[in-house]
Each structure stands twice: as C-alpha cells, then as structure tokens.
Structure 1
Amino acid sequence: MTHSIPSLTGFTEHHGEWFAEGVSLSALANQYGTPLYVYSKHAICTAYRAYDVACIRANGSRRARIHYAVKANSNLAVLDELKQLGAGFDLVSGGELARALHVGADPKSMVFAGVGKSSDEIKFALSVGVKCINVESIPELQRINSIAKSLGLRAPVSLRVNPDVDAQTHPYISTGLKDNKFGIAYFEVLKTYREAALLPHIDIVGIDCHIGSQITSTSPYLDALDKVLDLIDQLKRDGIVIHHLDLGGGLGIDYGSDAPPDITEFTNTLLNRVDERGFGHLDVILEPGRSLVGNAGVLLTQVEYLKTGADKNFCIVNAAMNDLMRPALYDAYHAIVPIKSGIGKAITYDVVGPVCESGDWLGKDRALAVQEGDVLAILSAGAYGFVMASNYNTRGRPAEVMVDGDQAYLVRERESVNSLFANERTIGPS
C-alpha cells in the first residue's frame, strides 16, 4: 500500500522544519524533552466547527448535537476546549465521567455508555444526573432499574442496538456485527424495549447505535441508520416514544492512505437521511472522537541508535509501544517525519522502541535521512495515543503540550520513575 503524508490542520512544514501552529516542534522537544505529545488547539476547533456547521439548519435551529467521545483523548485541556466550543460528552467509564465533571461540563450534556458498567459507575452516573445511560444488555437494564429504585428516581435510558452492519474497518474496532460484544442484537431490540417500558424505575428516552471506529465510508452508517429508524417506527406503533437518536461516532481520519469523507459532507448526508425519512423532530446526537482529535496531535521521539542488521536496518527511538500502542495492537500505520530535514541519503529503517518486545515497533520500512540525536514526529497521534499508554518496563508516560497560536502550554507533566511505584509497598522481612 502506498502512503503519503496526511494533510494536517495545525501542523505545517516550512523550509524543512515542522511547526505546531506558530511554534517549532524542535523548540518544544528542546524545552519539554521526548517522548512528547503535542496537540494543536486550532486543529481541534477546526474539526469541531466542520461538524457543527452541518448541525445547524438554515433557520438557525439545531438538528444535531455533538458529544465528544472522551476515550479518544481524555486530557483535561482537550475536554475543556471542546466544552467551551459547545460539545457534550460520550463517556465509557466512571473515570471519564469524573474528568468531564472536573472541567465543569453539565451532566445533562453527558451520555454514559460502555458494555460493562459496574454498579458504582451506574450509581455515580444516576446521582449526578447524566442525560442518558446507554444500555448494552438485558442484565444491565435490570441492574440500572434496581439501582434507580435504591436512589428513589427513574433512570433515563437508551438501548444500544447492534444492527449487524459491517463497518469495513479493523476487526478489533468493529462494534456493530452480531459477533461483537456490543449492544443488543437487532432481533431482540423490540422485545427488550417492551420489557424496559414495564420497569418502574426506567424512563425510555432514546435509541443508540455505534458500529465501529476508523470508518472511511458513509454507506455503513446509512445502512445502520435505516435499520434504527425502522425500529423507531415499530416502537411508536407499540406506544413507546423515542425522544433522541444517538448515531455514535467512528468516522475515520487520513493516516496517509485513507480517504474518509469530508466531515461536513458526511454529517449532512446522515442528517439529511434523518430528515428525509420524517424523523427531523428527534434530538440527534453524534459522538465523534478520532475525527476531532486524531490529526490534531503528534508524538515527538528522539533517535537513540541507528543499527544495521542482516536483513533490516533499525532506527531505535526513545518512544515505544507503551507510549503509542496502535502499531503493535492494530498493525496501524502512522506517518513518521524528521522535524528538521536531514542531510545525506535516506535509508530504509524499521522505527522501533526500547521495550523488550519484538512487537515494539512504531513504523516499518520507512525511508529516513536521520542521524542519532535527531527528533522524529509520529503524525496523526492525537487519538488513541496517550490514552492507551502504559507503564510497561517501568517507563513513565510522556508529557503532553497544547499549542495555541505562538504559545505552548504544558497540559500534563511527564511521569517520573519514582511516581510509578509511589503507591506500592513491600511486605518487609520474612
């Protein structure tokens, strides 16, 4: 497959040097060290507004609301910026709920999802008054009813439909097929809604569907949407009124060989189908994550060694699979560029990290003109980058910086080694 450098809002190359808005990546690497995640505020704002413009009708009324999928990038600075832009939040854990509350988000702008919610998480969500809990199974529905009873309230719920639609994406991030763990099987949805309507502490408010991530075609969305709209019609005949339609997220980005639809065009296509089928009265929710932040971030890493092998050359860097898991986990491609143009002839390398695993690689067969000490930028790392990072090999997670114009802000400090075992204890002498 042929790859190219993706077009990145907020990140540009001038005279052989890369910049985040008005700040050189070289200056950031020097000031904050590497590995380092760098985010562009401008890129996040631009992507959000591309969605938002399609969500407003010509008369000024709103036909859809954007709830950012926090799992894509949960840094508080990212959440706060999106809150200020007007976004609500799609949450899949009690920790993400706590983060959204910490930046001052209104609970009524939050949808709580996730396939394995604990009792404590459900109680937390109900206690603060989230807009809706998306239900993934019948046992979960019964648990929510019981917890709502103990709290003396009615729980607002939406059932997540598994429409058995192929999202045409990586199998690990496909969520809408019948053999995926997510949602309620399409053939069981009507029966489950009828059961939910009989539960005394359940208030049915919506219907939800999410089919996967890094989807680059509109057709799977339309297939799933039509199935869900058919269900809403059938539910109405049963006397069950749906107030909101949650279409989920999952729109892909360009990593270098992808061709996702334009955000505004994509959003208009979905919302126009909703209107054409006579459901324009519904409160529609969209839950983008990757498409808001994926191309708004890069990971900077320094070249430690250049190693010549019998069959491979290795560019060994100080970032690793614990910093950016996607290549090792999904065989995912990220474009990799020197932040300053190198001298000499480009040589083909596998870009690998220092972790003691053969799966610790960040890019394979990359033509790079680099020397030891140079800094590389791993592009399109704003989504599912830091949030999936770990401390494997007792490695501290990177610092994170957000750039706004010609100003850079440290939005997360680098973890020190001592902090990694601050909560651990030995049991003393035998």
Structure 2
Amino acid sequence: MKKLISMLTASAAVLELLLAVVLLTADYFTPNSYTVTNGSHLEWLSGAITVVGDSDVTASAGVPYPKTYQGTMMLYNVIPIKTVDVSIVDQTCVVPCGTPFGIKMFTDGVVIVGLADIQTSDGSVNPAAQAGLKIGDVITEVDGKKVDANSEVAKDVENCEGKSIRFSIRRNGTLSTVVLKPVRSETDGLYKAGLWVRDSTAGIGTLTFYDPSTKSFAGLGHGICDSDTGELMPLLSGDIVPVTINGVTKGLKGKPGELRGYFTDSNAMGRLAANVTTGVYGYLESVPEGSALKVAMKQDVKTGKVKILTTIDGGTPKYYDAEIERIDYRDQVQSKNLVLHITDSGLVTQTGGIVQGMSGSPIIQNGKLIGAVTHVFVNDPTRGYGVFAENMLVEAKAVESAANSKAS
C-alpha cells in the first residue's frame, strides 16, 4: 500500500510539473492583448485555449467603439492561464497592393553614421569622440539653430573660427546637449568636427495595402534603417514615387538578391507620414486598382498555405504560392511574426525566393490579408520573415489619428 501511495504521489508531482510547464509555455507564447472583430471569439488548438470575458467576446449594437475589457485565458475552459486585454472593433477592409514603389526620404535632423580622426598640426584628434558623440546620434540643432541637412552642419563647423559649438542631439529618444570644439585640418585648412553624417536616403520597396476610404497606405513591413548604424532613420519628410522593375539579381545562399528598377516618374504617388518598426506609412495621391479584403487579426493566422502578392517584372503584381511554417504571437515581436517559405517553383526559379525590394508584399490566407513579407534568411532565400497585417493596421490607424488631430 505504501508503495502504491508513493507511486501515486510521484505521478501527481509529475503531472503537476507538466501542467506548470504547459501553463508557463502558453503564457509565454500567447499575447497579453488582443483585438477581435464583431462576432468573433478567441480560441486556439480546437478550443483547448479560450478567452472568456465580462459576458462574451462579442460586441453588441450601441456599445461604445471600441469596446475594451479584461478577459481570462483558459485551458480547456477550466484552468486559468492569465488575464488578457481585449478590444472589439469593426471589421476593416483594405486593398492589398503588391506594387513596387520608390522611396525618397529626408531625416528629421542629421544622423551621425561615422566618426573620423582629423590630422592637425598637433597630431591626430577626433573632436566628436572627445565630446561624447556616438554613431547613431541625431544632430537636431547647432548653436540653437535647427539643422536638417549635411551641408548645414558642415557650414556651421567650417565657420566656427576655432570656437566651441553647442550640438543638440537625440539619442535613444532622449534629448541632450554636447559642446564640441572643431580643429583645423592640415589637409585643406578647414575646421572639422570628425563626423560623417547623413540627411536622406532612397530605395525600392513594395506597397502592402491602402485604405480606400482615407487613401492612407502601409508599406515595407519594416522600418527604413540607416545602412551604417542599423537604426531607424528619423523622418522629416518624404515621398513615394512609381517604379518599374526591370531585372532581378537572384538570391543565393549567403548572398541576398534584389529587385532592380528605376523611378519612372518624379511626381509623387504619395507622401510619407511615419517610419517605424513595422513599416512606412502615409497617404496616396493616386490609388492603384484592386479589390478590398478583410484584415485578419493575429489570432486568426494559421500555419499552412498562403499566397503572396508581389511584382518581380514590369509593373503588374502577381500571386505566388508560399506557406507559413511558424508563428510568433508575442506582443513584443513587432515585425518578425511569421516564418514564410516560398514554395512557388516559378518564383524560386526567377528570384531564388525572397529578395530585397519584395519587403511589404502582402500575404493572403483564406481570402484575408494576414501580413506582409519583411526579411529574407541570408542562408536560405526561399525563407524569410513576415509581419502581422494587424500590426501594420494599428500603426496606419495611429497615423490617421495623428493627422486628424493635427488638422483639427
């Protein structure tokens, strides 16, 4: 009897441990906040995990928009996992594009992309480093005067007559001031600060969707980062312009490919309003043709077959086969939510899979927009990351809200 009791006790301990592991795993890999549309319910794994709330996860007529509340995530409707925030919204429909576009972007301030020693009569020195400036800092003012161009910073430094200059900088979202004393270069006799700076960028990406009611758009699926610092470039202003794709450099293992194209018109097709982690956002001057689709919420996205809409030649988007192999639902993962595998033999033959310039290509599943292509795996161009369409839609709505507030 004692042996039986001991076995039962041990079994109960093992089961308790397994349950704890299951609950911890479910807690870690599921979001703490959700958005659902009217009439939708939150559940996964054929009902093994559900979320229950104040009465139901269904909005009713006359409820203030959006309705929000806290619900409880349950395992088999019995064991509570954690408390989550739920927002109920109206279904949003957007037009998926897959259209290539060119980006012309100017920075808000001037980004420091490099530091360099200056050869002087007293030896080699770097005033910028001595002042505490770092790569990635954004110079916003010189001696109290706002600057947005490389030439402005260079002119202020060259005209300093050897006097110290006060730089206002933004670092990791925090503003501060540093004092820098330029030195005279032996090379050309000009005063220099030992800085390499950048005030603009240009490139090619893919338009993900636009809202037909507001003409607001989302593209790229990831932010525009400086090629030297890897940091998001602070947006001052920018345009998107039409592009014609005229070639492809095929992606190979260890060597990402790219779409080759040219700007076909200097007239802007849209204006940039935001450059953030999940992409670029703004408003279109003219809209491409297309049919609107519902935007899927992240919990509705499943592993399995999908279509991507992209343009690899000329200017006409086409659908190609792919599949989602893995999904990361966690809130802190903003732009690498999906692992995407290109299975379309025609696309693989032409491009090798995912190439630079395809970022932003819409991903369609079960007749809904679920996401956009963002990155390619360097060692396997047939695979890459995707971002949830919901994450892009949230940012697009925030841009719209900010624009409306500014207008009023």
TM superposition score normalised by structure 1: 0.22
- Scaled by the length of structure 2, what TM-score is found? 0.23
Larger relative contact order (C-alpha < 8 A, sep ≥ 6)?
1
From the two aligned structures, give the one with the greater strand fraction: 2
